């Protein structure tokens, strides 16, 4: 049994400001903005805050759909911007194209866990420490959609997870973004992980990082002892800078117990 920690959600490269974790551990899950055509109908203006009466758009001054693109700062345009809900905690589904993530996620089995962490400013600091904020249990063997597959075959695979953000990209764009040579110079596989309960957004985020060296954050020793991460540098288990996928040698039951004791 395995748990894979995945770094996801909006950060300084695509939204501003980055929503914070408050003194009680409360937070808003803000997805990244979608890059191109999609069948996703959810926008920042359509998604409600969990701990406020307004929408997610009311938290934001701007969004940047493409990492090398312009910032969108017009309030109406921010409200109308489709989001890339990945993970989707309502449907419990997650897709990924980053090679290091695909390598770890494609080997998961039913009963394993995918957990999600992000960088959030805290109540007393602008440093974006790493917080665990959600998870789900793997329901079925993950599906790997390869660039060389026929589009009919891709469509059939993605149809099994219609609420997945990558399935919505396929429906709106006509292919997966990272399979299209006009979108990327390096077409790559996309993995889709179907989820089930126990899972969902946490009520309170759990801080995972302890040490910080320059732009890099490292897992606290308390969390290391609990989750047994299988990667470690001289400075500890790295959680970014660029957020890595981290495989942990604990069972799904042990992970859920860890969360229950802290969230």
Which residues does 13 contact at the CB level (< 8 Å), separation at least 6?
64, 67
Q: Is residue 22 part of a domain?
A: no
Q: Is residue 19 part of a domain?
A: no
At residue 106, the 3 state secondary structure works out as: coil
pLDDT at 134: 98
Residue in the block written with tokens 């790997």: 144
Q: Is residue 93 part of a domain?
A: yes
210: containing domain:
3-10+86-262
The 3 state secondary structure assigned to 203-222 is EEEEECEEEEECCEEEECHH
User: pLDDT of the chain along its 263 residues, tens only?
Assistant: 799 999 999 999 999 999 999 999 999 999 999 999 999 999 999 999 999 999 999 999 999 999 889 999 999 999 999 999 999 999 999 999 999 999 999 999 999 999 999 999 998 889 999 999 999 999 999 999 999 999 999 999 999 999 999 999 999 999 999 999 989 999 999 999 999 999 999 999 999 999 899 899 999 999 999 999 999 888 899 999 999 999 999 999 999 999 999 97
DSSP string, 157-202: HHTTSTTSHHHHHHHHHSS-GGG-TTT-SS---EEEEEEEEEEEEE
Q: Which of 106, 107, 108 is nearest to 97 (CA)?
A: 106
CB half-sphere exposure, 161, CA atoms < 13 A? 31
pLDDT at 1: 76
Residue in the block written with tokens 């179907």: 194
At residue 109, the 3 state secondary structure works out as: coil
pLDDT at 67: 85
Token couple for 216? 């890099």
Q: Is residue 79 part of a domain?
A: no
Angstrom distance (rounded) from CA 8 to CA 17: 16
CB atoms inside a 10 Å sphere around CB 13: 12
Q: Is residue 204 part of a domain?
A: yes
Query: Distance between alpha carbon 242 and the CA centroid of its chain, in Å?
Result: 13
pLDDT at 59: 98
Q: Which residues pair with residue 114 across a beta bridge?
A: 4, 136
| Counted domains in the chain | 1
Q: Is residue 30 part of a domain?
A: no
Angstrom distance (rounded) from CA 115 to CA 198: 11
């Amino acid at each position: 049994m395995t748990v894979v920690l995945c770094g996801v959600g909006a950060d300084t490269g695509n939204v501003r400001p980055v929503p914070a974790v408050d003194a009680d551990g409360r937070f808003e899950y803000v997805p990244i903005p979608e890059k191109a055509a999609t069948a996703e109908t959810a926008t920042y203006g359509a998604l409600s805050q969990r701990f406020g009466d307004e929408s997610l758009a009311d938290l934001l001054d701007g969004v940047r759909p493409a990492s090398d693109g312009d910032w969108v700062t017009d309030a109406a345009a921010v409200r109308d911007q489709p989001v890339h809900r990945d993970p989707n905690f309502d449907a419990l589904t997650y897709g990924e194209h980053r090679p290091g993530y695909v390598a770890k996620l494609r080997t998961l089995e039913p009963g394993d866990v995918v957990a999600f962490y992000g960088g959030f400013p805290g109540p007393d600091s602008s440093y974006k420490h790493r917080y665990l904020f959600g998870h789900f249990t793997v329901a079925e063997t993950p599906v790997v959609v390869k660039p060389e597959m026929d589009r009919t075959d891709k469509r059939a695979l993605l149809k099994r997870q219609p609420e997945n953000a990558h399935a919505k990209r396929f429906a709106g764009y006509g292919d997966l973004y990272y399979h299209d040579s006009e979108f990327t110079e390096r077409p790559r596989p996309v993995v889709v992980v179907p989820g089930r309960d126990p899972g969902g957004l946490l009520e309170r985020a759990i801080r995972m990082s302890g040490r910080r060296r320059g732009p890099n954050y490292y897992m606290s020793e308390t969390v290391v002892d609990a989750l047994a991460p299988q990667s470690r540098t001289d400075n500890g288990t790295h959680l970014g800078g660029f957020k890595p996928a981290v495989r942990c040698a604990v069972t799904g039951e042990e992970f859920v117990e860890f969360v229950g004791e802290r969230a």
